[in-house]
Amino acid sequence: MRLAVWDPDEPFRRWREALMQHAQETGLAVEVIDACRQPETQAEFALVWKPPTDWLQGQMGLRAVFNLGAGVDAIAPVLHRLHPGVPLIRLEDAGMGRQMGDYVAEGVLHAYRRMMDYAAQQAQARWEPLPLPPRASFTVGFLGLGQMGAAAARRVAAMDFPILACSRSGQSRFAAELGCPIHALDRLDEFLAQTRVLVVLLPLTADTRGLLDYAALSRLPQGAHVINASRGAVIDQADLLDLLHGGHLSSALLDVFATEPLPGDDPLWRHPRVRVTPHVAAQTLVGPSAAQVMRKIAAIERGEKPGGVVDMRLGY
């Protein structure tokens, strides 16, 4: 079988070596092609990161498409329109959960220990120890509790911060393990009112685009913090800036933005209460991702439904 890889950000050699190694482990005979260099070559399975629409349209024999990232909002509508019935399969962790846990844990500790306040004091050569709130009152709320959200929630709970969560349905397969309250999205205001650090890990869908506008973010307690590592368009960036300027929000750690790369003239770059990172909270690791893809292809070959198939109606 032929596998096409479209990933302009990663050397093709690394993908080919990893896929061939794990194909041998699963007993599959595969040919791996670099779709960026051989776009006309047809394949049965495609591993893609932001592929062009015309290339996808020209792939007439696809049996499944694997998205090489956590979010599928960009590719799902395109694939559904061009190839109805071809499953889109997302990576399930593949080493990204630990990275996300690191990123969120650092953000929570940075907020709790008031590091941004100390940075401001350093700029003024001011020596002044600051009081900390009781740890038990510093609740971290996870908006979205899928694979990435659960991985981050485990890390934060292990640091003895109280956690709660909010998901579309108010349910999660990780609920029993984490033992935290989970609100449905129709109780968002109640969830936000209890949250000192808001960790946004929602997929981008028609329901979540612009969800966190001025009214919603104002529901957070005075002095709350925001960490967004999912999709930039879930938050209204102008409203977020207004609430930071006004002092209702204390800080924001942002890894994702409505436009990426973040334009150089965007005020988020220069706001003293904002930290910007370039979409690196959880990056795709070639080895674990290739192993997972080959296991899923082997499942398809056995006539089984692999994990991670995207529900096109929900968009995740």
**Which residue among 279, 295, 302, 313 is the active-site one?**
279
> CB atoms < 10 A from the CB of 37, how many?
8
Which entry of 114, 196, 231, 275 is annotated as an active-site residue?
A: 231
C-alpha to C-alpha distance for 249 and 220, rounded to whole angstroms: 8
Give the SS3 label for residue 217: helix
CB within 8 A of 20, min separation 6: which ones? Answer: 30, 32
Say if CB 276 and CB 268 are below 8 A apart. Answer: yes
Specify the 3-state DSSP secondary structure of 80.
Answer: helix
Q: Hey, what are 136's tokens?
A: 């038990």
| Cβ–Cβ < 8 Å for 240, 257 | no
Q: What is the distance between the alpha carbons of residues 297 and 1, in angstroms, rounded to a whole number?
A: 10
Alpha-carbon span 21 to 10, nearest angstrom: 18
Judge whether 231 counts as a catalytic residue: yes
**Summary count for the chain: helices (H), strands (E):** 11, 12
Rounded Cα distance between 133 and 62, Å, is 55
Q: Helix H segments across the chain?
A: 12-26, 53-58, 76-82, 96-112, 115-123, 147-158, 175-178, 188-193, 214-217, 237-245, 286-301
Judge whether 167 and 144 are in contact, CB under 8 Å.
yes
22 is catalytic: no
Residues carrying an active site annotation: 231, 279
